[in-house]
Amino acid sequence: MSGSLEGAMEMNLSDQNEGADFTICCEALDEVLATERDIYISMLALTTREELAIVGDDVEALTDLVDEKTLLIEHLNALETERMTALVAIGAATGLDPQTVTLSEIAARLPQADGRRLMENGMTLRTQARALEQANLRNERLLHGSRELIERWIQYLNTVIRASTYGADGRVEGRDVRSLDRTA
């Protein structure tokens, strides 16, 4: 065999190995995106339960939900590490910068069906992340409103306590008894 033919065959095998590495890395990235998507869907369901706990003043349920949310966030953080590892491997196989590469650039280098699946997972993940962001903002507003209600309740209780304290002579000081307007 001639030297140039051997060299061409070696380069072809090298390209095939890089192509296989790229495909494996893309599959890993796709799996990470799909898992992240599933966790965001779980977190979105959790925010609905969180909203019900806030509106229902269920502090115990809210505490449990915070613990559950913390575990999901820890899982997402681990997945972020896996995603960056896949991107670095893709960068090594293709020469793309892992810090700036986009899913579109990666998908363009894949067979059409694989590229489409990667893009769909990425878009679904983005949609779920935005929905979760909106749900968290809604719950934040509810918690803020709930805190204002609690502060009003504390002010009311302080007023009642001050209105019904005993003086030095043993008599109740201040007869200004107020009631909480529950319709507010």
pLDDT tens for each residue of 143-158 = 888 777 677 767 777 7
Place 70 in a pLDDT band, splitting at 50, 70 and 90. very high
CATH of the domain at 43: 1.20.58
Q: Is residue 165 part of a domain?
A: no
> Read out DSSP for 127-166?
HHHHHHHHHHHHHHHHHHHHHHHHHHHHHHHHHHHHHTEE
11 is a domain residue: yes
For residue 50, being part of any structural domain is answered with: yes
Is 131 part of a structural domain of the chain? yes
pTM given for the model: 0.68
Candidates 83, 96, 21; CA nearest to 104 is 96
What pLDDT does 112 receive? 94
Q: Residue 6: pLDDT above 50?
A: no
Domain membership of residue 48 (yes or no) is yes
C-alpha of 127 from chain center: 12
Instruction: Using the predicted structure, report yes or no on whether residue 88 has a pLDDT greater than 80.
Output: yes
In a domain, 170, yes or no: no
Please state the three-class secondary structure of the chain as a single string: CCHHHHHHHHHHHHHHHHHHHHHHHHHHHHHHHHHHHHHHHHHHHHHHHHHHHHHCCCHHHHHHHHHHHHHHHHHHHHHHHHHHHHHHHHHHHHCCCCCCCCHHHHHHCCCHHHHHHHHHHHHHHHHHHHHHHHHHHHHHHHHHHHHHHHHHHHHHHHHHHHHCEECCCCCEECCCCCCCCCCC
Query: What is the rounded average pLDDT of the residues 125-150?
Result: 88
CA distance 72 to 129: 13
**Which residue range(s) make up the domain with 98?**
3-142
The number of folded domains in the chain is: 1
pLDDT of residue 23: 87
Q: Which of the four pLDDT bands, split at 50, 70 and 90, describes residue 5?
A: very low
Mean pLDDT calculated for residue range 64-80: 93
pLDDT score at 172: 55
pLDDT tens for residues 161-171?
666 665 666 56
38-42, 83-87, 137-141, 154-158 — which is least confidently predicted? Answer: 154-158
Report residue 113's pLDDT band, with 50, 70 and 90 as the boundaries.
Answer: very high
